[in-house]
Amino acid sequence: MEIRDRKTLQGLSSARKAAAPAAASAAPAAEAPRDAIAIGGIPAAELTPNVRRALETLMAEVEQLRTELEDARSRIGFLEKLVDEDPLVPVVNRRAFVRELTRMMAFAQRYGVPASIVYFDINGMKRINDTYGHAAGDAVLVTIAKVLLENVRTTDVVGRLGGDEMGVLLIQADQALADRKAGELATLIEERPTPWQGTSIHVTVACGAHAFVPGDTAGEIIEAADRAMYRHKTAMKDAG
């Protein structure tokens, strides 16, 4: 038995509810229009109470399956997010960052648009952990992640690359723009202290940017940005 139109079933149910009050006082002949209604091509004569109940049960089961499917999709989306998200800060983890970097490399090469990566390293994280505890160090990481997320575009990607290292993928950004954006983000991080147990923890970061070069691999791009960051870190130490 084929059910071709669910809306027809719903219409039938509504029609039956609306007709119920009138049915009590109507003559038996008034039942004829209701019995003439066909569901999915089923002759009116076959729409016995048992058939109607069977169809209503079937439609309820279909609705239940639809609800379960939506719940399953929601759970899958949640699990996918858990796999990609860093367990501590609200950014993607290194695995997801490298995946997005690979995608951005392909996009940049295909359409000839510039793209860059900015690499950040927090200065003095060991001192923070030793002085205030690791929970304080975690709070600093969260603060920095929020600063980065709040000050990049939705098309950019922020990720945690290591213990105290973070990266940002910038689309439509050549080397000059990436260098400038790296400096702006570093300044914003330094201007956002982390409140901690009645005090404020101030940090500085070293940063380095690298624009994609055709032929580079994802690993080579990250390493180039890492080297640029260490040059900046060395310069900061030399400057005192």
The predicted pLDDT at position 235 comes to: 95
Q: Domains in the chain and their CATH numbers?
A: 6-84 (no CATH), 94-238 (3.30.70.270)
What mean pLDDT do residues 51-73 have? Answer: 81
What mean pLDDT do residues 118-144 have? Answer: 96
Per-residue pLDDT band at 39 (split at 50, 70, 90):
low
Exposure class string for 8-25: b at 16+ Cβ within 10 A, else e: ebeebeeeeeeeeeeeee
How many other CB atoms are there within 10 angstroms of residue 99's CB atom?
15
Q: Answer whether 183's CB lies under 8 Å from 176's CB.
A: no
Cα 13 to Cα 6, 46, 47, 61, distances in angstroms: 11, 17, 13, 16
What mean pLDDT do residues 72-87 have? Answer: 70
Hey, what amino acid is at 63?
E
Residue with tokens 């050549």: 174
Which of the residue ranges 12-26, 40-54, 65-79 would you say has the lowest mean pLDDT? 12-26
Q: Is 39 exposed, middle or buried (0-12, 13-18, 19+ CB in 10 A)?
A: buried
Mean pLDDT taken over the chain: 83
What mean pLDDT do residues 199-217 have? Answer: 95
Q: Are strands 115-122 and 205-211 parallel, antiparallel or unpaired?
A: antiparallel
Instruction: State the Rg of the chain over Cα.
Output: 31
Distance, in Å, from the CA atom of 205 to the CA atom of 147, rounded to the nearest integer, reads 12
